[in-house]
């Protein structure tokens, strides 16, 4: 059994991410969930908020899961941590091309680090944080796809964003 890092933006954490964390925690001796600080898509939640939401979900549930954040190249962070495996999720064929390019780019940068792909349960295979943000913004109840406390934070944040923008949300 080896350790692995599960990197992502987690903006915010969904049940799909948690499904992957559950599977990863059983595959690896230690799973480090690493929130990317430098995402090019301006995140809705700060890195600290994304880490806190993940921590709340994993606390008391997975003994071998750590939640943290990183900036810069994931392979550099993995080397710093002495970890040789990255975990990523593959939902549908649409994920494949991007993940394929990223895995091979990371392999070129760090041949000693492998990317492992895991598929979530079918019921989460269409869930994306972006769609959750959009549907919650439009008033949908998505509590079957995200933790209740995350939905509450999302509603509060999007409500604030709406007020701040005088009714027009982006
Ligand atoms: P990124 O911006 O790095 O793609 P995400 O937070 O969107 O960050 O996703 C992080 C990882 O989790 C990616 O490998 C993605 O494929 C995976 N992932 C996202 N949503 C799901 C889901 N519903 N089921 C399984 N894996 C998922």
pLDDT at 14 over 90: yes
The string of pLDDT tens digits covering residues 108-125 is 999 999 999 999 999 999
Q: Which of 84, 56, 50 is nearest to 148 (CA)?
A: 56
Cα separation of 2 and 84, whole Å? 8
pLDDT-based confidence at residue 163 (cuts at 50, 70, 90): very low
- Coil, helix or strand for 32? strand
Atom 12 in ligand 1: residue holding the nearest Cα: 89
Q: Closest ligand 1 atom, CA of 39?
A: 2
Give the distance (Å) from ligand 1 centre to CA of residue 98.
Answer: 11
Q: Which of 135, 149, 133 is nearest to 41 (CA)?
A: 133
pLDDT-based confidence at residue 9 (cuts at 50, 70, 90): very high
Atom 1 in ligand 1: residue holding the nearest Cα: 8
């Amino acid at each position: 059994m080896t350790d692995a890092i599960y990197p992502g933006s987690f903006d915010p954490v969904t049940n799909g991410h948690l499904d992957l964390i559950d599977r990863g925690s059983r595959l690896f001796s230690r799973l480090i969930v690493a929130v990317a600080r430098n995402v090019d898509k301006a995140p809705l939640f700060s890195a600290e908020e994304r880490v806190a939401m993940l921590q709340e979900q994993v606390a008391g549930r997975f003994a071998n899961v750590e939640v943290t954040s990183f900036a810069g190249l994931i392979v550099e962070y993995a080397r710093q941590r002495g970890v040789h495996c990255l975990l990523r999720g593959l939902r549908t064929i649409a994920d494949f091309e991007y993940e394929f390019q990223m895995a091979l780019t990371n392999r070129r940068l760090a041949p000693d680090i492998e990317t492992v792909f895991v598929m979530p349960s079918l019921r989460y295979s269409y869930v994306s944080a972006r769609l959750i943000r959009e549907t919650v913004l439009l008033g949908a109840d998505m509590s079957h796809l995200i933790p209740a406390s995350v939905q509450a934070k999302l509603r509060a944040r999007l409500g604030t964003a709406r007020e701040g923008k005088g009714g027009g949300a982006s």
